[in-house]
């Protein structure tokens, strides 16, 4: 069951602190998305244009392409970890804006 909210959302939306929060969220999300997409697309681009570099062995039969591909898993977790930490701060700021602190 959903309770009716007593929050005046139009008033909150007009607050500069709320608009600032939305702007910072959008900037972070767009920047993180562009970074993640560029990082993800780098592997096929590097393999396509610089195959000799990507074939270079770094440890036994493991080459640069494998290392880069593995790094994408770590990068996804790192981006997710950073997002969770930053989003927790946004939640606190949003609560402050809503409750007028």
pTM: 0.77
Is-contact 29 47, C-beta < 8 A?
no
Query: Can you give the pLDDT of all 101 residues of the chain as single tens digits?
Result: 456 667 788 888 889 999 999 999 999 999 999 999 999 999 999 999 999 999 999 999 999 999 999 999 999 999 999 999 999 999 999 999 888 76
CA–CA separation, 45 vs 2, rounded Å? 49
Per-residue pLDDT at 89: 96
The helix (H) or strand (E) run that includes residue 68 is helix 64-99
Per-residue pLDDT at 4: 67
């Amino acid at each position: 069951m959903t309770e009716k909210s007593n929050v005046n959302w139009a008033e909150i939306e007009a607050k500069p602190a709320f608009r600032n929060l939305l702007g910072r969220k959008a900037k972070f999300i767009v920047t993180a998305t562009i970074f993640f997409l560029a990082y993800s697309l780098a592997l096929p681009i590097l393999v396509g244009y610089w195959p000799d570099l990507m074939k270079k062995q770094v440890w036994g039969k493991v080459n640069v392409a494998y290392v880069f591909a593995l790094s994408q898993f770590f990068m996804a977790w790192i981006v997710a970890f950073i997002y969770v930490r930053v989003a927790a701060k946004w939640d606190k700021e949003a609560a402050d804006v809503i409750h007028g602190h």
